[in-house]
């Protein structure tokens, strides 16, 4: 049985969905930024804005966190809305739980900047971290929604180029299939309080129109990508989101390809559940689990 806070979060999503202006990107961005209200401000974390190889970013630095390990975070929003500011508090909770600092990046948005500008920015930030002395094996690529795609996409892009990949990948509520055709898009439509197929297809149009990259292209549609060679990967989704099938199918294919993959579902969880960090007990418990997994995969002792 979901707790009151988790149900309230679903109601918050439903309220925002009712206010969603279908044809006004500027207003969509304003509405989406309200999601930062869901997370509490974590104690013991300081912030500093940074230029990560030309990519705007925010450091979230918990007290006594490792100076050698970092979470590289890509935000949600379909590549069209949202920002590092919306995700700042939620990611800081995860950073504190892992005992690592986090770099939350502000990749360029569509339609002003179409694909592959977004994944180029993620890669630029990763390369900047390496140039700052972080070993690739001590960088964890993380993100949620389209950022969950980019968290995986970064590792696949680096592998394809013959470069060192992150030490681990944490993909939350991922949007992998730009065609939005999995059966859970229909079966979970009455459960998901935030996403619709039409919304996601609109985002993919704004990201891809005029680029010559189709919705089925494996460079962006990871439902068609080969996951072989990925570092240890955790995929953690909300079981009420329409993209649940994306997460499950990708994890199954990754396992078949020999990837060390862990799949988890937040019971009664909505898309982008991580934004409820610090306010929803079930989400805080998921954060503790994710943090334990990250530390174990990097060979670090558990945090008390």
pLDDT of res. 46: 98
Given a contact cutoff of 8 angstroms between Cβ atoms, the answer to whether 194 and 276 are in contact is no
Q: pLDDT tens digits, the chain, 304 residues: what are they?
A: 899 999 999 999 999 899 899 889 999 999 999 999 999 999 999 999 999 999 999 999 999 999 999 999 999 999 999 999 999 999 999 999 999 999 999 999 999 999 999 999 999 999 999 999 999 999 999 999 999 999 999 999 999 999 999 999 999 999 999 999 999 999 999 999 999 999 999 999 999 999 999 999 999 999 999 999 999 999 999 999 999 999 999 999 999 999 999 999 999 999 999 999 999 999 999 999 999 999 999 999 987 6
Residue ranges per domain, the chain?
4-297
pLDDT of res. 303: 79
Of the candidates 239, 288, 281, the one whose C-alpha atom is nearest the C-alpha of residue 3 is 281
Compute CA distances 101 → 75, 98, 145, 167, 294, whole Å: 16, 8, 21, 15, 13
Task: For the chain, give the number of residues.
Answer: 304
Q: Which fold has domain 4-297?
A: Rossmann fold (3.40.50)
Residue pointed to by tokens 């990250």: 294
């Amino acid at each position: 049985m979901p707790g009151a806070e988790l149900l309230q979060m679903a109601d918050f999503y439903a309220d925002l969905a009712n206010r969603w202006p279908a044809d006004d990107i500027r207003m969509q961005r304003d509405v989406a930024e309200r999601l930062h209200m869901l997370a509490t401000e974590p104690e013991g974390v300081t912030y500093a804005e940074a230029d990560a190889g030309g990519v705007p970013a925010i450091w979230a630095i918990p007290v006594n966190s490792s100076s050698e390990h970092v979470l590289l975070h890509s935000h949600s929003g379909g590549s069209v809305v949202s920002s590092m500011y919306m995700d700042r508090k939620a990611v800081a909770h995860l950073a504190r739980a892992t005992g690592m600092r986090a770099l939350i990046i502000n990749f360029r948005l569509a339609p002003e900047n179409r694909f592959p500008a977004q994944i180029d920015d993620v890669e630029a930030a990763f390369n900047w971290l390496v140039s700052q002395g972080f070993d690739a094996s001590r960088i964890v690529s993380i993100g949620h929604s389209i950022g969950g795609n980019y968290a995986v996409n970064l590792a696949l892009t680096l592998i394809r180029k013959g470069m060192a990949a992150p030490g681990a990948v944490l993909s939350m509520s991922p949007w992998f299939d730009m065609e939005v055709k999995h059966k859970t898009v229909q079966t979970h439509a009455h459960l998901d309080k935030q996403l619709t197929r039409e919304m996601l297809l609109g985002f993919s149009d704004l990201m891809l129109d005029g680029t010559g990259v189709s919705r089925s292209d494996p460079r962006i549609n990871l439902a068609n990508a080969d996951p072989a060679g990925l570092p240890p990967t955790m995929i953690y989704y909300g079981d009420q989101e329409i993209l649940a099938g994306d997460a499950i199918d990708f994890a199954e294919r990754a396992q078949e390809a020999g990837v060390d993959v862990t799949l988890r579902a937040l019971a009664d969880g909505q898309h982008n559940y991580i934004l409820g960090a610090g306010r929803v007990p079930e989400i805080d418990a998921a954060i503790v689990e994710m943090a334990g997994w990250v530390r174990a995969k990097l060979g670090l002792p558990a945090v008390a």
